[in-house]
């Protein structure tokens, strides 16, 4: 269990999707919104955003190998991560779901929209890329991504946070502290982390992005060191009719450390769909 800002207690639930035990939570009421986090992260890391999502039924999940979801025994691809998310939506009997993916979660979200457009009503891609064919991040940031140590060592997390996340994370002490605490409490398994990393580094959505027909908002941070904002512009340029929003001074976690600036733009986009275009 854990606290949330749309009710007193958020209850952990578990289901088995394609043979893997998956942890998820649902909270709030209104149109459904699935949140998918970044590399190795657990659903606790969404806490800074939740106060801004009133009016939605929010579905949170741990990807296989992260948080309290089990580590799969077979090799994972981005398509398989998307199949897990699709299976969870089926388990919850949800259709017409808005999907928000951050970083690695944004890659899974692209695959989900490709594989199951009938389930996805709107797509929000935050600080993410198309994989192969994207603009690489800085060497120091990529080196930090290459190890799950930030999920095990608060000192290492504090040292690499400005290098990896950029933007205001070094100034947002409360967000940095809560992120470090959640990472330490719910670290990914080593195998789970590197399975996600391998999936991200061997995947590309470029061949099908022009065929996506889901209304899409792409959000980038202008100071994101690991997934430069140029990648958001690439996504928005390839996905027909996509909207693009660049957060001035925002880093890789701008959705969390600058939620008061970013969330209203996202919820306005999502509510357009709920009320009809």
More confident residue, 133 or 154: 133
**CA 226 to chain centroid:** 14
The rounded distance, in Å, linking the Cα atoms of 212 and 252 is 24
pLDDT in tens, 171-218: 556 666 777 788 888 999 999 999 999 999 999 999 999 999 999 999
The catalytic residues are 103
CB-based contact 180:154 (threshold 8 Å): yes
State how far the alpha carbon of 187 is from the alpha carbons of 43, 142, 153, 175, 183, in Å.
11, 19, 10, 17, 5
Only one residue has tokens 């970083």, namely 103
Structure tokens at 56: 């939605």
Instruction: Report CA torsion sign: 150, 62, 99, 20.
Output: positive
The whole-model pTM stands at 0.93
pLDDT for residue 161 is more than 80: yes
Residue ranges of domains in the chain: 13-139+188-275
pLDDT for residue 10 is more than 90: no
CATH assignment of 13-139+188-275, given 1.10.579.10, 3.30.1330.100, 3.40.50.1820, 3.40.30.10?
Answer: 3.40.50.1820
């Amino acid at each position: 269990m854990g606290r949330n800002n749309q009710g007193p207690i958020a209850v952990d639930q578990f289901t088995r999707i394609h043979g893997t035990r998956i942890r998820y939570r649902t909270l709030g009421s209104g149109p459904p919104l699935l949140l998918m986090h970044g590399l190795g992260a657990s659903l606790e890391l969404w806490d800074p955003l939740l106060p801004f999502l009133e009016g939605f039924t929010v579905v949170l999940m741990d990807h296989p190998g992260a948080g309290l979801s089990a580590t799969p025994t077979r090799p994972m691809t981005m398509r398989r991560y998307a199949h897990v998310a699709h299976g969870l939506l089926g388990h919850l009997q949800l259709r017409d779901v808005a999907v928000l993916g951050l970083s690695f979660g944004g890659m899974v979200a692209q695959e989900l929209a490709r594989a199951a457009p009938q389930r996805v009503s709107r797509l929000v891609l935050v600080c993410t890329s198309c994989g192969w064919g994207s603009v690489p991040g800085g060497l120091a940031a990529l080196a930090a991504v290459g190890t799950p140590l930030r999920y095990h060592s608060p000192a290492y997390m504090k040292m690499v946070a400005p290098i990896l996340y950029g933007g205001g994370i070094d100034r947002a002490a409360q967000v940095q502290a809560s992120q470090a605490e959640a990472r330490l409490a719910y670290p990914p398994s080593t195998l789970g982390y590197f399975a996600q990393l391998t999936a991200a580094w061997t995947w590309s959505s470029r061949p099908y992005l022009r065929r996506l027909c889901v209304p899409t908002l792409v959000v980038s941070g202008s100071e994101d060191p690991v997934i430069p904002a140029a990648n958001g512009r690439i996504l928005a340029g390839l996905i027909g009719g996509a909207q693009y929003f660049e957060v001035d001074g925002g880093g890789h976690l701008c959705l969390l450390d600058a939620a008061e600036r970013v969330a209203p733009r996202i919820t306005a986009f999502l509510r357009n769909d709920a009320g009809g275009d």
